[in-house]
Amino acid sequence: MPERITGHTELIGLMAYPIRHSLSPAMHNEAFAMLGLDYAYLAFEVENEQLKDAVQSIRALRMRGSNISMPNKTLVCEYLDKLSPAAQLVGAVNTIVNDEGVLTGHITDGTGFMRSLKEAGVDIIGKKMTIAGVGGAATAICIQGALDGVKEIAIYNIKDKFYENGEKTVEKIRNNTGSMAKLTDLADTEALRADIADSAIFINATGVGMKPLDQVSIITDEAMLRPDLVVADTVYNPIKTKMLAMAEACGCKTVNGLGMMLWQGAAAFELWTGKEMPVEYIKKAVYNM
């Protein structure tokens, strides 16, 4: 294989913590190589405290851009020059594009998740969904789901410092879409049980299930699950979280986080390069799909 890194190679990053488990570098670098594009994609462990300096480095190093993941998706908005309409509505960013020093934030998580459901043969349009989480990915999924026509969205989260994010999401959905939405404390297990009972899908959009919480499930009582319920996880490493294993044992159709990762990545790839990601090749080469 010829050398890919040259004096003209443009750098694209991934800023999050923890992030060494990510498959994004493999996905993007494989796609660059496949298409003969002179880019390199690297992961950087960046927390909130280092985020402002890290974003400034995109300009200083003339990077093409960066992906942003937990815990930085919301905070990063403060350090950017512009936000796309979707990112503005969601209030979170997972992709930064650097156009000659002007940093624009985009969000591709919601479209990526909805595309992953379509690929899995799951249709939730006109139906109810219950979701755990109020972070950047969860908000993007809720907003995009509402825009796409999900009828009702029940959002759950622990009453931590991020709970207010969920309240804002409910307000955005009510004011900007035709969907109904509500927010409930995740500690209210009876309310969660009732919402899951009349939902078409339950989604975990928290970090539960990912290292170091890979032995934990956001659903602790398998009696909440039923065979006609779709159970989805935004966690993609491990591929089968403890929650998904429990759901499979109960006869549920499950959707892991790999599809969302693939399709949100494909959207970001096109924003940086102007080219379509070779998705079918990446499915086999990186994800063994």
pLDDT digits (tens, 9 = 90+) for 142-184: 999 999 999 999 999 999 999 999 999 999 999 999 999 999 9
pTM of the model: 0.84
The residues spanned by each domain of the chain are 10-107+261-285, 110-256
Q: For residue 85, what pLDDT is reported? A: 86
Return contacts of 171-180, CB within 8 angstroms, 24+ apart.
172/89, 172/143, 173/142, 173/143, 173/146, 176/89, 176/146, 176/147, 177/143, 177/146, 177/147, 178/146, 178/149, 179/145, 179/146, 179/149, 179/150, 179/151, 179/152, 179/153, 180/151, 180/152, 180/153
- Mean pLDDT for 44-51 is 98
Q: For residue 262, what pLDDT is reported? A: 94
Report the percent of the chain where pLDDT is more than 70: 99
Question: What does CATH list as the number for 10-107+261-285?
Answer: 3.40.50.10860
Q: Judge contact between 145 and 214, C-beta under 8 A.
A: no
Phi/psi at 80 (nearest 5 deg)?
Answer: -105, 160
Q: For residue 17, what pLDDT is reported? A: 96
Q: Do domains 10-107+261-285 and 110-256 have the same CATH topology?
A: yes
Report the percent of the chain where pLDDT is more than 90: 90
Q: How far apart are the first and last CA of the chain?
A: 24
Distance CA 41, CA 47 (A): 19
Q: Which of 73, 128, 172, 242 is catalytic?
A: 73
- Mean pLDDT for 231-255 is 96
- Mean pLDDT for 117-143 is 95
Q: For residue 255, what pLDDT is reported? A: 97
Two tokens, residue 9: 């190679």
Residue 1 has pLDDT above 60, yes or no: no
Q: For residue 2, what pLDDT is reported? A: 47
Two tokens, residue 193: 């049980």
Distance CA 37, CA 25 (A): 15
Average pLDDT, the chain: 95
Q: For residue 137, what pLDDT is reported? A: 87
- Mean pLDDT for 28-36 is 96
In CATH terms, is domain 110-256 a member of 3.40.50.720? yes
- Mean pLDDT for 222-243 is 95
Residue 73 annotated to the active site: yes
**Nearest by Cα to 286 from 241, 245, 239:** 239
